[in-house]
Amino acid sequence: MTPEILAIFAGCVGAVVGAGAVLAFWFSEHQQEAPRAQPGPADLPAGVGDVLAALRSSAVVMGDADEVVRASAAAYATGIVSGRELVHAPLRQMVRQCRRDGEVHEAELELPAGPMGRGASVVRARVSWLGAHHVLLLVEDHTEARRVEEVRRDFLVNVSHELKTPVGALSLLAEAVDGAADDPEAVRHFASQMQRESVRLADLVKEIIDLSRLQSSPGVVQPKLLSVDDVITEAVDRTGSVVKARDAEVVVAGEEQVQVVGDHELLVTAVRNLVHNAVAYSPEGSKVVVETRRVGGSVEIAVIDRGVGIPAADLDRIFERFYRVDPARSRLTGGTGLGLSIVKHIAANHRGEVTVWSVVGEGSTFTLRLPDATDTVASPVSPAGVSAPAAAPGRAAR
């Protein structure tokens, strides 16, 4: 090969190498610039995906084009995110505002119902920058907290209202006693009324405390195997005063030697409340039946009366706190408006329920339904932890 040809060949090789170097440099520069021009998930700070996966609240990472880049499972489950978009306009507006001024924004919003009819939600939303290109949206659902707060507020209002009546009555009666100091008969009369109002006030306070404990407990703390016969017998015994005052008769019927698992004192309270109401809202001299049945895997304790009955419009509300179908009659019979609400919560804490059938003028049947434990291999246990006798006492009228 001549020197001239070698020189030409070397020049060609140099040109190719130089062109390759220039191309490599150009490609390298553009590779570094591309992520800045078109940010994507790779631009997210390290660990963001792991953090989102661990969050229970709704968290969304938005890209430059207001598209969803990453989102937590809760954001999809609650309907805040659909595909790569934020569903609710107020949240999109907060993201845009954060992009405009670079500030952190926080607001409480009421979001409309979703496509599945989930209902309006009250949320606390917060947006801030995340890195150079993304905006982070955090959404906390405060719907349940708001509902609980409203329930608590209503409860306090109702309690205050209910307490005013006996407290006011006691104040007036005290003045009456003071004014009748020279009349022993009048003093005895007013003292008797004061005692009645004091008992009513004590009952109200006790039931408020009982209801508060039931609502704060998810279930029975120390469940035991119980004899339903024993529960009903004690419950009927505790209604002795109202039964005697109204010349009523309580008949216990149905299956014997039936068992459930639960808290003896709570179940006695539930049955006692139902029997007391049945007697109080029936004419004098009436008969109330307490019947035990085993139906499927449940034990039903039905309290049946032939009293005044309950209007159909009130049936859905009678288990609410302080709800009274007839407020005047309820106060006349010494009712606090909490008895049925307590029964409902006792049933729920025992994984059961309470239902009602009623027709005005014909009477009512309240049914306490609990899981059946009759076939459990154990002896019935009393509240003190002592095994009860194997043979249950026979049914009798009281």
Q: Where residue 232 falls among pLDDT bands split at 50, 70, 90? A: very high
| Per-residue pLDDT, 102 | 86
Question: What is the structure's pLDDT at 62?
Answer: 85
pLDDT of residue 302: 96
Q: What percent of the chain lies above the pLDDT cut of 70?
A: 74
Q: Hunting for tokens 């660990």 — which residue is that?
A: 47
Distances (CA, A) of 153 to 39, 126, 159, 195, 221: 49, 27, 10, 31, 28
Instruction: Say what the pLDDT of residue 300 is.
Output: 96
User: Angle at Cα 372 formed by Cα 230 and Cα 345, nearest 5°?
Assistant: 75
The pLDDT score that the predictor gives to residue 333 is: 55
Greater confidence, 222 or 164? 222
Amino acid 74: pLDDT: 81
Write the pLDDT tens digit of every residue in 192-206. 888 877 877 877 787
- Backbone Cα Rg of the chain: 36
pLDDT digits (tens, 9 = 90+) for 109-157: 888 765 444 567 888 899 988 877 888 889 888 877 777 777 677 767 7
- Range picked from 4-18, 197-211, 289-303, 371-385 for highest mean pLDDT: 289-303
Which part of the chain has CATH 1.10.287.130?
143-216
Q: Which residue has the higher pLDDT, 43 or 349?
A: 349
Q: How confident is the model at residue 34 (pLDDT cuts 50, 70, 90)?
A: very low
Q: Which amino acid is at 80?
A: I
Boundaries of CATH 3.30.450.20 in the chain?
Answer: 43-141
Distance, in Å, from the CA atom of 18 to the CA atom of 20, rounded to the nearest integer, reads: 5
Give the pLDDT of residue 161.
66
What is the predicted pLDDT for the residue at 313? Answer: 86
Q: Which residue has the higher pLDDT, 390 or 288?
A: 288
Pairing of strands 105-111, 121-130: antiparallel
Least reliable range by pLDDT among 233-247, 359-373, 379-393: 379-393
Which part of the chain is CATH 3.30.565.10?
222-398
- Predicted TM-score of the model (pTM): 0.56
Of 366 and 110, the structure prediction assigns the larger pLDDT to 366
Name which residue leads in pLDDT, 80 or 148. 80
More confident residue, 391 or 48: 48
Give the least confident one: 125-129, 208-212, 287-291: 208-212
CA 103/CA 129 separation, integer angstroms: 8
* CATH number for the domain running over 143-216: 1.10.287.130
pLDDT of residue 109: 86
Average pLDDT, the chain: 77
- Check whether domain 222-398 has CATH 3.30.565.10, yes or no: yes
Q: What is the pLDDT of residue 170?
A: 80
For 237-275, the pLDDT digits (tens) are 999 988 998 999 999 999 999 999 999 999 999 999 999
Instruction: Supply the pLDDT for residue 291.
Output: 96
Q: How far is the C-alpha of 339 from the C-alpha of 80, rounded, in Å?
A: 41
Both tokens of 66, joined, read 């207001």
Question: How sure is the predictor about 214, in pLDDT bands with cuts at 50, 70 and 90?
Answer: confident
Q: What is the mean pLDDT of residues 295-319?
A: 91
Q: Please list, residue by residue across 287-316, b when 16 or more beta carbons sit within 10 angstroms of its beta carbon and e when fewer do.
A: ebbbbbeeeeeebbbbbbbbbbbbeeeeee
Per-residue confidence (pLDDT) for residue 26, from 0 to 100: 41
The span from the CA of 253 to the CA of 356, in Å, is: 19
CA 373 centroid distance within chain: 27
Q: Where does 43-141 sit in CATH, by number?
A: 3.30.450.20
100: phi then psi, degrees, rounded to nearest 5: -70, -50
Rounded to 5 degrees, what are φ and ψ at 290?
A: -115, 110
Question: 287 or 44: whose pLDDT is higher?
Answer: 287
The rounded percent of the chain whose pLDDT value lies above 90 is 26
pLDDT digit string, tens, across residues 6-28? 444 445 444 444 444 443 444 44
- pLDDT for the residue numbered 46: 66
Across the range 86-114, mean pLDDT stands at 86
